[in-house]
Amino acid sequence: MTSLKTLLGAASTLALTATIAQADPALMYDLGGKFDKSFNEAAFNGSERWAAETGGSYRDIEISAEAQRVQFARRLAEAGANPVVVLGFANEPTLQEVAPEFPDTSFVLIDAVVDLPNVRSVVFAEEQGSYLVGMLAAMATETDTISFVGGMEIPLITAFACGYAQGAKAVNPDINVIVNYTGSTPSAWNDPVRGSEIAQSQFSQGSDIVFAAAGGTGLGVLQAAEDAGLLSIGVDSNQNHLHPASVLTSMLKLVDQAVFDAFSDGPGLETGVVRMDLASGGVGYALDEHNADLITDEMQAAVEDAKAAIIAGELSVHDYRTDSTCPAF
């Protein structure tokens, strides 16, 4: 019986190594899919950039069920992929289970922390980037009312909202910040129509700038703002070009850079926690030719001052995730 098992195991390993060249990196997307115009797609862009620059090849996989998280991570590692990059905080338990089984494989987890010797955990200081765009919104608003559209009401997204509100209130303590979430199921990340409806209802409550942190849903929010002749703020990637002169700025969260770095470092990459914040350039706000007319020199100076203060540690932005409270709500 045992010999049969060994034989079967050997056969399957052979079959798998035929499909993946040894030590190609691999990328596993989170639920929501590869082309979500946001988090997952940023990772895809990072890996494509790596492939274009190095000529290397990689394998990527989309999951469609919870049970596939562990399944796919294990299968990729078994097949010799190295490093294996997995996206999303929901994969924290995945790596806690799979990473110890493959001590010679390097894993990279994005958006959560797993403390294992072969895991690099990349976390972003979303609250810092959101703080800066919140300041910009508060300086640009004419109605003293700004708004936020989140995907689902989960700590990660509330951290965006909380940073945004803190930044806005730092500029104008009396500002009104409307916060809404799209839904309670994963489809909330990909519902532009609903995003547009929520944005319009916020506009009717007096908001003239809306910040969307809702994946594909945000595209509807940005569109609604342009249609209404108002301003919006993009998220994750630089979305300024989507609606020039209507997107005030974008809160950058450089997931693509994290994936690019992981692929470039290759097998045996340095593990531990990598914090992508303002100081390391992992988060920030986008300024380019598409929004140059919207951001005055005065606004930019104020935001740059705050940015320098945050990097220097003189100004601390509260992270909602540490204690589930927000001083600005």
Partner 1 sequence: MSAPKKLPHWADVTLVPLASVALAFVISGILIWAIGENPWNAVKLMVEGAFGSSYGWGYTLYYATNFIFTGLAVAVAFQARLFNIGGEGQAAMAGLGVALVCLYIPWPHWSLALLGASLGAAFFGAAWAFIPAWLQARRGSHIVITTIMFNFIAASVLGYFLVNVLRPQGTMDPASARFPADIRLPRLHEMLEPFGIPFSTSTPANIALFLALAMCFAVWFMLWRTRLGYQIRTFGESQTAAEYAGISPVKITVYTMLISGGLAGLMAVNSVMGEQQRLVLNAVEGAGFIGIAVALMGRNHPFGVFLAAILFGFLYQGGAELALWTNIPRELIVVIQALVILFTGALDNMVRMPLTRLFAMWGTR
Q: Of 12 and 296, which CB lies nearer to partner 1 in the complex structure?
A: 12
> If you search the block for the tokens 């010797």, which residue do you land on?
117
Q: Which of residues 232-291 bind partner 1 (CB under 8 A)?
A: none
Q: What stretches of the chain adopt beta strand conformation (E)?
A: 26-28, 59-61, 84-87, 107-110, 119-124, 145-152, 176-183, 209-213, 231-236, 247-253, 272-276, 283-285
Q: Of 30 and 261, which CB lies nearer to partner 1 in the complex structure?
A: 30
Candidates 49, 241, 318, 321: give the one binding partner 1 (CB under 8 A).
Answer: 321
Residue 65 is a binding residue for partner 1 (CB under 8 A): yes
- Each residue 107-146 as x (binds partner 1 by CB under 8 A) or -, in order, gives ----xx----------------------------------
Least Cβ distance, residue 163 to partner 1 (angstroms) = 15
Candidates 54, 57, 296, 322: give the one binding partner 1 (CB under 8 A).
Answer: 322
CA distances from 46 to 59, 237, 322 (A): 13, 11, 29
Q: Is the peptide bond preceding residue 83 cis, with omega within 30 degrees of 0?
A: yes
* Nearest to 214, CA basis, from 240, 242, 233: 233
Least Cβ distance, residue 64 to partner 1 (angstroms) = 6
Residue 152 is a binding residue for partner 1 (CB under 8 A): yes
**Neighbouring residues of 206: CB distance < 8 A, sequence distance ≥ 6:** 143, 145, 176
Least Cβ distance, residue 112 to partner 1 (angstroms) = 6
For strands 59-61 and 84-87, give the pairing: unpaired
Residue 45 is a binding residue for partner 1 (CB under 8 A): no
Residue 185 is a binding residue for partner 1 (CB under 8 A): yes
State both tokens at 321: 């995730």
Q: Of 5 and 174, which CB lies nearer to partner 1 in the complex structure?
A: 5
CB 87, CB 79: distance < 8 Å: no
Least Cβ distance, residue 66 to partner 1 (angstroms) = 6
- Look at residue 39 and give its three-state secondary structure: helix
C-alpha span between 115 and 265 (Å, rounded) = 19
Evaluate the CA torsion angle 306, 160, 87, 100 in order and state its sign.
positive
Q: Return the range that interacts with partner 1 (CB under 8 A); candidates 148-156, 199-207, 258-266, 308-316.
A: 148-156
Least Cβ distance, residue 326 to partner 1 (angstroms) = 14
Candidates 24, 30, 31, 133: give the one binding partner 1 (CB under 8 A).
Answer: 31
Residue 14 is a binding residue for partner 1 (CB under 8 A): no
> If you search the block for the tokens 């950058």, which residue do you land on?
252
Q: Of 185 and 204, which CB lies nearer to partner 1 in the complex structure?
A: 185
Name the helix (H) or strand (E) containing 123: strand 119-124
State both tokens at 164: 């945004």
C-alpha span between 122 and 271 (Å, rounded) = 10
Residue 186 is a binding residue for partner 1 (CB under 8 A): yes
> If you search the block for the tokens 């100076």, which residue do you land on?
301
Candidates 53, 93, 117, 292: give the one binding partner 1 (CB under 8 A).
Answer: 93
Candidates 62, 197, 227, 319: give the one binding partner 1 (CB under 8 A).
Answer: 62
Amino acid at the residue 237: S
Residues that bind partner 1 (CB under 8 A): 1-2, 4-5, 8, 12, 16, 19, 31, 33, 61-62, 64-68, 70-72, 74-76, 89-90, 92-93, 111-112, 152-156, 184-186, 321-322, 324
